[in-house]
Structure 1
Amino acid sequence: MDKAWMHIGDRMYSNDYASGVKQFMDMAKAHASGRDCIRCPCKRCRNRTFHPFSVVEDHLFKVGIDPSYTEWIFHGEEETLPDTTSSDEDGDAAYNDNDYIDDVDEMLDDIRVGSFMDNSVKLLHIKTVGGWTVKSFDMVIKLLQAAFPHALFPDSYNEARRLQRGLGFTYTKIHVCPNDCALFWKDNADKDACPKCNASRWASSTTNQKRLSQKVLRYFPLKPRLQRLFISRKTAQAMRWHVEERVDEPNFMRHPADSRVWKDFDNKYEAFSQDPRNVRLALASDGFNPLNNMSKLYSIWPVLLVPYNLPPWSCMKDLYLMMSLLIPGPKAPGNDIDVFLRPLIDELRELWEDGIQTYDAYKGEMFLLRAALLWTINDFPAYANLSGWSTKGKMTCPTCNFETDALWLKHGRKHAYMGHRRWLGIEHNWRKKKNAFNGKDERRLQPKTIAGQALMDQLHEVSNIQYGKSTKKRKRIPNELNWTKKCIFFELPYWLDLGLRHNLDVMHIEKNICDNVLGTLMNIEGKSKDTVNARRDLEDLGLRKELHLQHHGNHTYMSLACYMLNGTEQRSFCARMAEVKFPDGFASNIARCVNVNEGKIMGMKSHDCHIFMQYLLPVIIGGYLRPDIRGALIELYSFFKELCSRTLDTKVKSHDCHIFMQYLLSVIIGGYLRPDIRGALIELCSFFKELCSRTLDTRVLERLQANIPVILCKLEMIFPSAFFDIMVHLAIHLLDEALLAGPVQYRWMYHFERYLDKFKRYVRNRARPEGSIAEAYVHVECLTFCSMYLNDIETRHN
């Protein structure tokens, strides 16, 4: 169509201009599909305002058409995509000339759906933020329609919700065998019965007209969600941060991009690393009960993905966490989780091998987007499901593998994991100190990491595993390795080459160690590791005679151990804990976990233990240390005392154990324990504090790597064997993982467990919790994306 008329100056008296306006309006009316309002392309409105046809025509004659509007994409003309062969310089020039402003209209331009209006986006956003009900939303719509009859509003909440589907925010339902044997997907999509166990796909109570599946997996495709990261210029630029803005300092790690795993991966796969827009992902999964009723067992397992390209202040935010799978309950998938991971693994392979064409709004060009999965993040039970290495039995430690040192406690009926002298120097005098440990010299070296071909040889024995709850489980023979399967992640071409595939969760390890320490110090029933059976095991092993059971006639009693507080000390301990106050937002109110009269502490959560271990314990015992250390610690304690003028009552209960371990324990126990016990616990707390630093110095980590076996050996000389469950032992491997993968804040479960707590609030239909969560998730995901373009109302971005 001839557009020369757009540049005619004499608009009111030019026949060519009038003819051009008529052709434009005819095309716009045909494109309007029955609507009585269209975008006005005049110089004043610039396609940002909707007006009736007559008003638009008046504006074109009185104000004139915007001369830069050369492609009439809002009025029926097809848009010409950018030339993919243009150089970076051309893209930058176009960016500067266009004077780009992120707003809703530009968002609609980016995603090429000009038929949707910003009114719907803003109303839905306000409803979500303000907690409106559907009924109240519909009432406001009616009011707005009556007050502004010429404005375009959705007729109802349901019509407004169609926006998210128009923008591509959807998910796929995949039917699953009720026994978790297989997915009714791809080759099995048309089958009515499971190809392995022959179980029916359909619920028996339904009719042929409307059949319902017994089990449904909800899959949220990854490709469009990764593409969406590059639609906005702001996020597209942020996705290049790890290359263009990150400061690479020797010996310091502040981001996963600083880690050895990341750098080794880049060196091995140079073609992948050449484009900084290629995405590095982490996968996290855990189960939760959506019904908030612990008496009714129900476990849903979301699978979440994290893009690590973003800077530290954005990387782990909820805005960028992407749900990939919603594995249905009521039972946990267990070892059969690989069946549910199949769609995601297939898509990850496609993203690695083929990539996907994506538009980069920052550069103004198309590029081939690829993605790689760096590692998984999970607690220890989920570690077994995702890795295929069972976390039960005598070879529980996945790092030590077949060299795990496990001691069976006959009376305690469990394994103790000790033998940490193997990590000491070969000439260390503790290696010959028999009576203080297990009665034997220690001449073994620390276990070697199993990798490469040796790992594949081990996995070859479990390569043909049948999935499904109807399948008879294979029983392991004595001394057989703990592999239960070759996990599905090995189908990714690069998975074997990764330096760290599955992370040990620092959060849960720290909490369990705190529970062991606090439970034993306070002699908490059910939590203490110093029990009658533990004393009997020591007697059978011939160790620690001072802790053996005392017999007087027909009576047997336990003497008070040096690491245990008596009744008066327990009440004093609790009184001091109840008085501790924290800065606003720093920790939850730990005083609610304390019963001063009974001398009991119960109900501490993960972050309380974190703070207790890492901060407070080293402060209170200052009176027993050197004057210079004592002075510094007293000043620090005084600072916190003056700063913390009030307590915090927060809903984030997972912080409890974190707080307790890093702040409280060291403060309170100082006056009660022997110097050697006190020193060992302080060193343990300092270890966790330095490990959890935001910036890791590799020189400090190497020092800690040499210190942690000494700390654990000191604890072996203090506490009974029952104290050393697998979680205490795993602490010795945390430094190796930190040296490989960088700061723990990107690899622990705090972020994900808090995020899963939101899913519980999404459940409105308790009979269909998975459907409620899926629908609410895509709704919030859509509004979160759209809110990046809203500048005139309050959002999470502004």
Structure 2
Amino acid sequence: MRHPADSKALKHVDNKYGWFAKEARNIRLGLASDGFNPFGMQNVTYTTWPIILIPYNLPPWLFKKQPYWIMSMLIPSPKSPRMNIDVYLRPLIDELKDLWEKGIDTWDDKSDHPWLMNKMSFNNEVETREALVPLSGQQKLLPLVVRKILPKEVVMPLIQLTRFFSALCSKELVEEDLDKLSSSIKETLCRLEMVFPPAFFDIMIHLLVHLAKEAKLGGFVCYRWMYLVERYLRTVKGYVRNKAHPEGSIAKGYIAEECLTFCSRFLDVDTKLNRADCHESTTVNEPPSGLSVFGEMDYKRRGQTTEIFGADEVRKMRHYIITSTWKNYKNSIRNLNKRHEEHFVRWFEGKITKLYEKGEASEHMYALSQGPDHRARVFNRCYINNWLFRMTTIERNLVTQNSGVLVRGDGTTGNMTCTSRSRGYSRDKYGVIDIDTSRFRYSNEPYILATQAKPVFFLNLVNKPGWSSVVAVRPRNLFAMLEAENEGDMEVDLLDVGI
């Protein structure tokens, strides 16, 4: 499952109401509500309940953006509406039923709508502009902390619990995996019952048994949890200017924000709706086609210097680039010696040059054989593969870490391959990897391709100086989406860095 439309609940709706499912532009809405104190004062018992509608037709990277949400109504009350909330919701339910039964005319982006020609009702001009361009868009730390300070019978269920939530909250769900989670969480709760007192097991602990089944019915957890709504309540609280009439201030602020949102989509100016995200480049940081060595990078960051590399340094670069990108290259026993490293680059350059002169080699292959420029631009940070990487020298006074790099080895190209108990590397019984950061391997291969870099972060071990635990992470704004519409040739564009 990659979208709520893949859930069993929405599939049941599609099967029962086929006429609704035939039109992809029919709106599917999610309803959310929560109460908050608009004054920000804890000694005031006053709650306001906004009712929010979230369109599920949008892709994952847009549905959680606040400009696309609809605050349909506000429930003012000195106290919580409690059981009377259905009375307040009655007008909204009537409008939704009317929308379901009768429908409403709206903008049709895929056809010539009569409104385009209706100049008398607007500015006496026929609308000829193009349609709007769609806008683009603790659990891992707990095992590292408890594994050294608590007994095994306590650590094991806690680690199983954290992995259960990590799998449940992922951006791609597989029905078979959810079945396994339903089975494994029962074992985890049994382990917890052997350690914690009975008072610990209230209804919230029992709720864990039903979460995996609920995900099968309702789809992604991130589409249904309240974290996004609670952040939105903070935005709504900022609309309050007149504390005598907080609901009026919220309504006025929301309408003003919505008007500016609609108007800004027609203006050719920089707004928060079309502004690129933090560290996001205007160009795609992925190879356009062919060899990955030609992928573009964001070189607009500060801290740029220029260095000239010697012949030996360039030879090492060219050797690694060629052996990493040329699909026809294969290692053998004889190739893994120093003579091969010294002579292969020159042989490859001559071989490809002759093939290129005969028209038997591509432009990319010829450019690869000629090697890189001896002049190199050196940056203290770069943005690649949806992640920001920085040098350790500029992170000394920062609380964040973006200097960890992971390159997966294939066992043949000389990348590091370690056993469970090798020198400078260890994997404990819980699957946590520790490495000795003071040891360096493969100093004769100091380079990687930027497109091979994947992020990790290191946590220093207090009881082992110089050692750190390694935790792999996923880019926040990367989603697994289908590239093809036909099910026969579906491909998934997903960056998998593992855990």
TM-score computed with the length of structure 1 as normaliser:
0.31
Greater C-alpha Rg: 1
- Normalising by structure 2, we get a TM-score of 0.50
